[in-house]
Amino acid sequence: MKNIIFIAPPAAGKGTYSKLIKDNYHIPHISTGDLLRDKVKENSEEGKEIKAIMQSGKLVGDNIITKLLEERLTQSDCQNGYILDGYPRNIDQAKAYEELLQKIGQSLGIVIYLEVDKQEALDRVLGRVVCSQCGATFNTKINKFQPKQEGICDHCHHPLEARVDDNEETFLNRFNEYLNKTEDLINYYEQKGVLHKIKSQNNDTPEIMLERIKKLISND
Ligand code: AMP
């Protein structure tokens, strides 16, 4: 099994598809955001330093991230492949990652870039509704995921609530900023010949997406 770097803009479904890959291939899903949050929980001096940086919205320094990643990627459950999420975020990190891989005897593997249309991503975010009781999610703007009865959960019949953390403007700003920031990284991996783009469309079920991902992994 190849190591996978998973890159996706906001609301592309990265969480859902990472879980599908993880469960299907029995490999760990490693998010640098989660590694850092775990470190913050330790309440050490380093944890406090990391917390302050994360709260400011800035990137944590490469030395800290590289050390945490080295600790994580050398654990036994990573020896058969892993999914990396939230890293690398720029070309400096991509280069630091390659040095780390060499040091720990791992290989780069493949990079999956989940492409999503901006309007579709917006519909996902603005149409999302969640059951107040069982947590099932539906989407009022996407046919396939609409509840059978408006505002009511299909499973337990409790009311559905909107989960709008973003309005249209802030979401589009976040989305555009993400594309700008990752453009160089995508080009970098494209030139290396390891980048695979897959389209994530709103009416694709998770099963269809998993088939696309599987094809890509087995073809490589
Ligand atoms: P995330 O959970 O990926 O949204 O990350 C939350 C925060 O953790 C980010 O805003 C950064 O402060 C930090 N972070 C996560 N991944 C990285 C990374 N690869 N490099 C630097 N900082 C990171």
Looking at residues 125-153, what average pLDDT do you find? 91
| Among 37, 67, 174, 214, the one annotated catalytic | 174
pLDDT at 186: 96
If you measure from the C-alpha of residue 144 to the centroid of ligand 1, how many angstroms do you get, rounded to a whole number? 33
User: 174 CB contacts (<8 Å, ≥6 apart)?
Assistant: 10, 166
Q: Which of 158, 175, 159 is nearest to 167 (CA)?
A: 175
Query: Which residue's C-alpha comes closest to atom 6 of ligand 1?
Result: 33
The larger pLDDT score, comparing residue 144 to residue 112, is at 112
Q: Are 67 and 122 in contact (CB under 8 A)?
A: no
174 belongs to the catalytic site: yes
| Among 39, 72, 124, 128, the one annotated catalytic | 128
pLDDT at 107: 94
State pLDDT tens for residues 49-59.
999 999 988 89
State pLDDT tens for residues 29-49.
999 999 999 999 998 999 999
| Among 103, 144, 163, 181, the one annotated catalytic | 163
Looking at residues 126-155, what average pLDDT do you find? 92
Residues with CB under 6 A from ligand 1: 32-33, 36, 53-54, 57-60, 65, 86-87, 89, 93
Instruction: For strands 29-31 and 83-85, give the pairing.
Output: parallel
d(CA 14, CA 219): 21
pLDDT at 189: 98
Would you state the torsion angle of the CA atoms of residues 31, 23, 73, 45, taken in this order, to the nearest 10 degrees?
40
The pLDDT confidence band at residue 2, using thresholds 50, 70 and 90, is: confident
pLDDT at 103: 96
State pLDDT tens for residues 174-218.
899 999 999 999 999 999 999 999 988 877 888 888 898 888 887
